[in-house]
Amino acid sequence: MSDQPKIYPVPEEFAAKANLSPEKYKEMYEASIADPEAFWGEQGKRLDWIKPYTTVKDVSWETGDLHIRWYADGELNVTANCIDRHLATRGDKTAFIWIGDDPDECHKVSYKELHAAVCRFANVLKKLGVKKGDRVTIYMPMILEAAYAMLACARIGAVHSVVFGGFSPEALAGRITDCDSGVLITADEGVRGGRKVPLKVNADKAADLSNGTLKTMLVVKRTGADINMVEGRDHWLHEAAEDVSSDCPPEPMNAEDPLFILYTSGSTGKPKGVMHTTGGYLVWASMTHEYVFDLKEDDVYWCSADVGWVTGHSYIVYGPLANGTTTVMFEGIPTYPDASRFWQECDKHGVSIFYTAPTAIRSLMREGEDPVNATSRKSIRLLGTVGEPINPEAWEWYFHVVGDARCPIVDTWWQTETGATMMVPLPGTTDLKPGAASHPFFGIKPVLVDADGTELPGATEGNLLITDSWPGQMRTVYGDHQRFVDTYFTAYPGNYFTGDGCRRDEDGFYWITGRVDDVINVSGHRMGTAEVESALVSHDAVAEAAVVGYPHDIKGQGIYAYVTLVQGVEPDEALRKNLVQHVRAEIGPIASPDLIQFSPGLPKTRSGKIMRRILRKIAENEFANLGDTSTLAEPEVVDDLIENRQNKG
Ligand code: WT7
């Protein structure tokens, strides 16, 4: 990154119609920080409450008494806000545009139709015995029934846990047992990039691995594949829905009742169940969606994420629907049938806001400008990115080639834990610096500190903390509140620790520099190095493994694994392939190591701690910068590691 990044003013055509201005942002931001009670008390009114709240914020980040409550005596239902309240004015407006993997497949659903579909789905869940507070796991392809399933849970007060369809049976089973989920909603198969994904086969294996936790499966027919249905346990959705009513009154929920659990990787141990609740989350998802995307009534909005990630929760389903938006759901991938796909669909449906991940942009960039230039893209007025820092080169390409220099780019920094966007160049309020998350959203106060927690003023770089709560903050780690306290509130007492490093430049813009813990970001997906390591060591041939990230042209970071084999096992290509296969089976394809280096030893301190800093430097090809290696137990292992470093490709 050069020291003098380019600066782009807000494109004039955009600024003329923007909902916000620099002055308005400043005014609202200052109000949100000066009096959070008043600010959020007012913002809460964007929702319809069954029983209005009389308190706004009840938060303590003290480790001994950590609790986070917003609008705590209010009652509401998420689906009444996402669906019912729009029926009078937007009943015939398109809620979802579903775009199939096959370009000839597409389907529109109005708010009225959405209401009926969700009510029917909710009644099926009731018929199967699902009750308020029960955990329901959703393991689905990107079909409308995935959104219906989430909303049906919210309708009756069940807590959904969506597991990305790319996860393995083992990973799925772990998530089912962790939250004691007796019901799984899945499909016979998924379809992505012309290929079938055997979801029901995986679900069957997960059911076996769940030690009896899973009692009921609801199966959606997507491809009509010949699958095994277990008598008494498995039910086809279309059969179960035959005789149910399309009326299902929304369950009144307390603002702090759980809405969903979403598992995410941390720096240690197994994935944690990030828990979000009802009122604060929906205020936050809806408000950020409106302001981040400069939302207008006639927008056609497309977020290309998967509902298996938090982006899909907040910015395909809950935020857009709460705002009565037309939201696109896409089953396929950016490069199928060819690299024009995104832009062809934008033209076909008049998409005005397009939100995707840097890794998708980089993979399209590789295909050149022709597939983009073959399309019009005139309907697009705003572009967005999420998931990892965007490199300036990809930003420039997105801005100039895709957006014809007309469309601002909102680079949204946030996390599964934060529920929705925390930092972003809000459209129309600021100059754009390629690669900068830029400025805090309303109510968010970022602080940069050194390792000891001392605040660093001015232009500086440090660990990123947030100093006070916001309504969409996660409430706990499901079933393990202490882990929540330990992970986020213990290193820097009184603050929320993001796990990210960050730089603040001379103009006060924030730049996320990446994770400062043992978490890596592969194609915008968070991966705990410890998880990949434990998958590797569960293989019979492996004695020890250490996993680090390294720069990867498309994925942002690739997975580099150092593996020490057990005595007597000889390394070869077959074993290398076998280990990759093993990790895919344990976690899923997104965890596949890109490079595996067989190493007779790992650099350790005399007390036996693996020196990851050195492994990272070697993986990054920065041998000159290894630092002091004299404290190692066996300094000579480093020479062997350098000599046998694996290359990309
Ligand atoms: C981590 C969170 C946000 C939903 C998708 C990922 C990184 C995310 C950005 C961005 C720089 C980003 C951070 C963060 N990240 N967005 N715009 N610029 N870094 O959610 O899986 O919870 O991962 O992704 O490192 O901590 P997640």
Domain ranges, ordered by start, for the chain: 123-253, 523-644
Per-residue pLDDT, 4: 64
Whether CATH 3.40.50.300 fits 123-253? no
Residue 389 annotated as lining a ligand binding site: yes
CATH of span 523-644? 3.30.300.30
Ligand 1: nearest atom to the Cα of 265: 21
Per-residue pLDDT, 649: 40
Per-residue pLDDT, 455: 98
Residue 515 annotated as lining a ligand binding site: yes
- Angle of helix 529-537 relative to helix 573-586, nearest 10 degrees, comes to 120
H or E stretch including 580?
Answer: helix 573-586
Q: Ligand 1 center to residue 526 CA distance, Å?
A: 8
Q: Which residues of the chain have pLDDT under 50?
A: 1-2, 649
Per-residue pLDDT, 1: 46
Of 124, 128, 271, 140, nearest to 203 by C-alpha is: 140
DSSP E strands in 224-269: the ranges are 234-236, 253-254, 258-264
Ligand 1: nearest atom to the Cα of 519: 25
Q: Which two tokens stand for residue 475?
A: 């409430």
Residue 343 annotated as lining a ligand binding site: no
Residue 4 annotated as lining a ligand binding site: no
Q: Is there a common fold for 123-253 and 523-644?
A: no
Ligand 1: nearest atom to the Cα of 305: 5
> Of 383, 496, 526, which is best to mutate to test ligand 1, by the most ligand atoms within 8 angstroms of its C-beta?
526
Q: Name the residue with tokens 């379809």.
A: 191
Residues with CB under 6 A from ligand 1: 264, 309-311, 386-389, 411-416, 437, 498-500, 512, 514-515, 521, 526
Whether the pTM exceeds 0.90: the reply is yes
141 neighbors 191 (Cβ within 8 angstroms): yes
Of 381, 266, 260, 257, nearest to 314 by C-alpha is: 260
